[in-house]
Structure 1
Amino acid sequence: MEVIMTRDDIISVLGPVDEAVIADIALTGASLEELREAFAWLGADEALLNEGRPLPGTKVARLIEILDMPEDEDGRQAAAE
């Protein structure tokens, strides 16, 4: 049984984020563990590779794309093209 992440789950990992980012993350269907893994990859990709960790799977890779989008001048993440 797949557990859907709640808004509070997402904020517990990322801290305060834009509602659009929360919606994009929720739409991936990823688990809370996959979100934690994506967040770890963003912060320490080289260290994780050096540990011999496998490259992220499809959902984790999509989460990394969402989390790594550049911010616009207002501090909001720019829309994906």
Structure 2
Amino acid sequence: MTMTSHEVIAILGPVDHTLVAEVIATGATQAELAEAFAWVNNDEALIGEGRRLASGRVAALVDLLTSDEEEPQ
């Protein structure tokens, strides 16, 4: 099921509308977005737990979330 903008914002917090649309366009689930958000915010802890690196839609979401952070203000 496709996420709504409210669901995306509930996970990510206040973000740009363009990012919300891009996240929704991936077709990812709330669980996938939450996992990607965890990777972006604490990848060392997840690796320390022995979790495999993100792949598929989660990896695509990680790319979206980190590319937004890297843009100059």
Q: What are the ranges of 5 or more consecutive residues in structure 2 without an aligned counterpart? A: none
Q: What are the ranges of 5 or more consecutive residues in structure 1 without an aligned counterpart? A: 74-81
- Structure with bigger helix share is 2
TM-score, normalisation: structure 1: 0.83
Match of 1:68, SS? helix
Who is 1:71 aligned against? 71
What root-mean-square deviation, in Å, do the aligned CA atoms of Structure 1 and Structure 2 show?
Answer: 0.9
Between the aligned residues of both structures, percent identity stands at 45
How many angstroms does 1:54 deviate by? 1.6
- Cα deviation, 1:15-48, whole Å, max 9, x if unaligned, reads 1111110111011011000000000001111110
Runs (4 or more) in structure 1 with deviation over 2 Å come to: none
What is the total number of aligned residue pairs between the two structures?
71
Who is 1:41 aligned against? 39
Match of 2:32, SS? helix
Who is 1:6 aligned against? 4
Who is 2:56 aligned against? 58
How many angstroms does 1:72 deviate by? 2.9
Distance 1:31 1:72 in 2: 29
Distance 2:71 2:20 in 1: 15
